[in-house]
Amino acid sequence: MASLGRRLVVEADGGSRGNPGVAGYGAVVRDADTGQLLAERAAPLGLASNNVAEYEGLIAGLQAVLDLGLAEMAEVTVRMDSKLVVMQMTGEWKIKHEDMRRLALQARDLQRQIQARAGTVSYEWVPRGENLTADKLSNVGMDGETVHRDYVDGDDEEPAPAPATAAPANAAAAAAPPAADPTFGEVRTPVSEIVLSTETTPTLEGSCKLVLVRHGVTPFTEQRRIDGRGGADPSLSQQGRAQATAAAGAVRALIERSEPSPVTVVTSNLARARETGEAIARALGVAPEVDEDWDEQNFGDWDGRSMEELVTEYGEELLRLRQDPDYARPTGESHNQLVERIRRALGRAVARGGTVVVATHRKPIMCVLAEVLGIDHDRAWSIATAPASLTALEVWPDGGVQVAFVNDTHHLHGLPRP
């Protein structure tokens, strides 16, 4: 007979090769105290989106707890790398898409069945690297295989215990996405692999196509000077104007290749972004709109100082700014404060629908990618976004987000360097 009051972990995931595309889910149940694997589930889903597949993984994991007879007084912690599913199941985000609403109701019904047995269910978002077992099983499902294994009461041979949060030594290989899509359509592609080949000709789909354009260079950029919100606010240099024109042509070409939709151009309130956005808006035949929440971070008393000066005079403080998301310079702004306003700006942009082009800055683009990819503050600094580069996201009706490409600079090839 199963013991009462057991602490359990459900690790669940799902994926879609194409979003929507060939989909599958994976889930495991573990003993939270020993890491012992108690159940494995995986199955194909046919044609579905990432988020639908993730919900199916959650449902399979909760159902496994009930099927194993372990729900009595159990403390169940669900761990997923889908922030969308976790936030919707905890009630922090609304569920608008009908398919998602239906699946969430199924998951909540299973949750109530566990609670009716005096159990509890809580949800925890984890980085993809801590959800590799479920991720691997979801790929098994996408490959068309079904897995249903239980390791309780001698049903099957029990595998060796595995820590719930430990990644296997070959984690990178286990988590590697399919290489068939050159634009890396799945959100969960590791940041180190989000690189757009200059040979690709991407197109965008989705209910909202978001194109983030970093501004062209200014005299401050060329002199390696810090340039944030609230500082000198320089205009584009001659080189920066050429970059803005090239970026405008690249945006226009991308939109012409993509699914037709209404186009909006939004810029930050800073001169260099406004001038870049104005070049893009002219190329597209629309009027730009200003949203100051897309401004660069305010660096306070460091604004206008060169990086060489900061390294020499403020070495420890500079390191702290990079490592501590709550650190802010006098009269300046912390990374977390920047994140909050970028979230607001991103929400407004996506709510517009259609194609939204945003002319903005390095750190705001970094914040958007970190948000949708679930990357922490320290890792986010690894994301490269060159001046006048293009980064694109596709947002789908079910709430799913795909990173189509990052740091595309092919349109700048042949321009003279400053």
Q: Which of the following is catalytic: 40, 54, 215, 411? A: 215
- Looking at 3.30.420.10, 3.40.630.30, 3.90.1300.10, 3.30.750.210, the CATH number of the domain 7-175 comes to 3.30.420.10
Taking 3-state DSSP, the helix, strand and coil percentages for the chain, each rounded to the nearest 5, stand at 40, 20, 40
Nearest-angstrom CA–CA distance, 4 and 74:
7
Mean pLDDT over residues 340-357, rounded? 93
Please give the pLDDT value at position 172.
31
- As a three-state string, the secondary structure of 302-346 is HCCCEHHHHHHHCHHHHHHHHHCCCCCCCCCCCHHHHHHHHHHHH
Please give the pLDDT value at position 395.
86
pTM across the whole model = 0.55
| Residue 215 among the catalytic residues | yes
Nearest-angstrom CA–CA distance, 9 and 162:
12
> Model confidence over 148-206: pLDDT tens digits?
999 865 444 444 443 333 333 333 333 333 333 222 223 333 333 333 333 345 667 66
Pairing of strands 263-267, 401-408: unpaired
Pairing of strands 354-360, 263-267: parallel
Are 284 and 372 contacting, i.e. CB atoms less than 8 angstroms apart? no
Distance of CA 354 to the CA centre of its chain: 20
- Looking at 3.30.70.1350, 3.30.70.1140, 3.40.50.1240, 3.10.530.10, the CATH number of the domain 191-412 comes to 3.40.50.1240
E-strand stretches of 18-158: 21-31, 37-48, 75-80, 120-125, 147-150
Alpha-carbon separation of residue 175 from 26, 75, 86, 186, 374 (angstroms): 13, 28, 21, 12, 15
Q: Where are the domains of the chain?
A: 7-175, 191-412
| Residue 335 among the catalytic residues | no
Mean pLDDT over residues 216-230, rounded? 93
Q: Which of the following is catalytic: 296, 335, 394, 411? A: 296
Nearest-angstrom CA–CA distance, 145 and 229:
52
Mean pLDDT over residues 37-65, rounded? 93
